[in-house]
Structure 1
Amino acid sequence: MEVRLRCTEIGCCECCKDTEMQLSERDIRRIEKLGYSREDFSVEADGIRVLRNVDGSCYFLKDCKCEIYEHRPLGCRLYPVVYDVETRRATVHDFCPIGNEIPRFKIKKVERLLLKHISDIYGFLP
């Protein structure tokens, strides 16, 4: 499951700039299988690994396209749907200019995946 939007169609890659995308161990291993070193594409922040930014953009962003699109982290696949710990629900991140195109039922479906992903990263549910 992933959230598909027309980002490339409209030339948008804003979510890949100054990213703080959190990575699960599964994400890291999948990317390492492509020949990348975790030390190159990620950094540790507050005890978890996040995608590294190079010159203000994700390590994998080149010409507004993801170099590992088919293998990108789960958080990237599900974005702009994010989990709001205050409301305890999945929601669309208001930063995304076309996030309003995501139907409500899809947001609810993605919520279960987000909770599992958060649990994989932190070891507990929010």
Structure 2
Amino acid sequence: MEIRLNCTDKGCHECCVETEMQLSERDLKRIESLGYDRNDFSVEVDGVRILRNIDGKCLFLKDGQCSIYDSRPLGCRLYPVVYDVDKKRAVVHDFCPSAAEIPVSKIKRVERTLIKHIKDIYGFIP
């Protein structure tokens, strides 16, 4: 399950700037299978691994595109759908310039995947 937007067609990669994308063990292993070391592509913050930024951008952002696109983390695949802790449901992150393109039906379809992903990372839903 993933959200498909034509971000690169629009020249957008704003979600890759100062990213705080949280990684599950499955994400870490998928990227490691490409030959990367988790200590090189991620950092631990409050017990959770997140993608590393280099010069304010995701380590994997090269020339405006994701260099590991087919193996990118699940959170990247689901973005701009994110979990709103206060509302206790999936919402579209209004930071994304393409947010208006995401229909409510798509948000509902990915919500279960997103919640499972968060449980994989934290062990619970915050």
Tell me, yes or no, whether TM beats 0.5: yes
Task: Compute the displacement of 1:5 (Å).
Answer: 0.5
Structure 2, unpaired ranges of 5+:
none
Which residues of structure 1 form unaligned runs of 5+?
A: none
Aligned to 2:123: 123
Cross-structure match for 1:65: 65
Matches within 5 A, 1:1-126: 1-126=1-126
TM superposition shift of 1:6: 1.1
Count of residue correspondences: 126
- Mapped to 2, the partners of 1:116 and 1:11 lie a distance apart of 31
What is the RMSD of the two structures over their aligned residues, measured on CA atoms?
0.5
Matches of 1:125 and 1:60, distance apart in 2: 28
How far apart in 1 are the matches of 2:119 and 2:98? 28
Q: Calculate the TM-score normalised by the size of structure 1.
A: 0.99
CA distance in structure 2 between the partners assigned to 1:27 and 1:107 by the alignment: 21
TM-score (norm 2): 0.99
Amino acid at match of 2:89: R
Q: CA deviation at 1:124?
A: 1.2
State the Cα distance separating 1:125 from its structure 2 match. Answer: 2.2
What SS does structure 2 have at the residue aligned with 1:76?
helix
Q: Residue deviations 1:25-65, cap 9 Å, x none?
A: 00000000000000000000010100000000001000110
